[in-house]
Amino acid sequence: MIGKKASKKDQILKMLTKRVLDLDLKRSLGEDIDLQEIALDHINALDEITSIDKSEIEKIADQIIKEYQEKQTPKQKLYQFFKKYSRELVIFLIASLLVLVIFLSFLLFRFSEPNNTSQNFDSPLTQPSETNRIFYVRSMLAQVVSQMTGVKMYFAEFYMAAGKMPNKFEDLKDIMLDLQDSPLIEKADITKSGELVVFLSDDFGEGKVVKLKSSTSRSGMNVKWVCETNLEKKFLGVSQAAFCTYNEDILSD
């Protein structure tokens, strides 16, 4: 009789152990599982209510976690990476772009000064005024591109979760509304083909647009971006360091 009670007790404890571990893993789906951080409390609890040695419980938990991680697809792993480090990546990209803007601004200021030997002295104020306008527009464009770069991360997260790019404003409504708060942006939208389109304020001129076109690699692991605008080429800088490429027919694409 005592043997039967002991056997029944062992079965109950084993079932409890299995269900606790299963519940722990289910709650941890989509997170970066770490045995020392999320399983420690459960392991201690199991150690107290079961006759199983704590080291054996840790080995079982570690084995289950490893099996779960091995079953993840590359897309799931990449999505978890973006989810965990999205804020850090956005901060890094914005900081890198700001450094680039400062560096380009320094170069533009240094090399865009008018050459006195080739000026038309009949109108000495024309060239400096044009130079200032170019510098001013480039500076504003750099700010817009920086703001759009931050949105690219949310496009990638949406793609990893849904398996496709967002194709309407409502897919990223809150992010797009934040983008439109910029005084340099008149309107922001997402096209049916998954492009991020920004209609610039009148400070840039009438009907000026910046568009980010996205494309995925064959493996579906990477998202590539191309920036296009109908701002005149003189505002974009030299081709090697230009923020975007010039596309006169951008509104008809």
Give the start-to-end residue ranges of the domains of the chain: 2-71, 74-252
SS3 95: helix
Q: In this model, does residue 50 exceed pLDDT 80?
A: no
Cα separation, 212 vs 6, in Å, equals 68
Q: In this model, does residue 240 exceed pLDDT 60?
A: no
User: How many other C-beta atoms lie within 10 A of the C-beta of residue 163?
Assistant: 9
The predicted pLDDT at position 44 comes to 67
Instruction: Give pTM, 2 decimals.
Output: 0.48
Kindly state the percentage of the chain with pLDDT values over 70. 63
Q: What is the pLDDT of residues 132-168, one digit of tens each?
A: 888 888 888 889 988 988 888 898 888 888 888 899 9
Give me the helix-helix angle, 40-49 and 54-71, nearest 10°. 140
Looking at every residue in the chain, the average pLDDT score rounds to 75
Burial of 112 (0-12, 13-18, 19+ CB in 10 A): middle
Q: Are the beta carbons of 52 and 46 closer than 8 angstroms?
A: yes
Of the candidates 68, 86, 58, the one whose C-alpha atom is nearest the C-alpha of residue 28 is 68
The predicted pLDDT at position 149 comes to 86
SS3 196: strand
Q: What is the pLDDT of residues 190-218, one digit of tens each?
A: 999 889 999 999 999 899 999 998 887 77
Of the candidates 184, 189, 178, 183, the one whose C-alpha atom is nearest the C-alpha of residue 138 is 184
Cα separation, 211 vs 83, in Å, equals 25
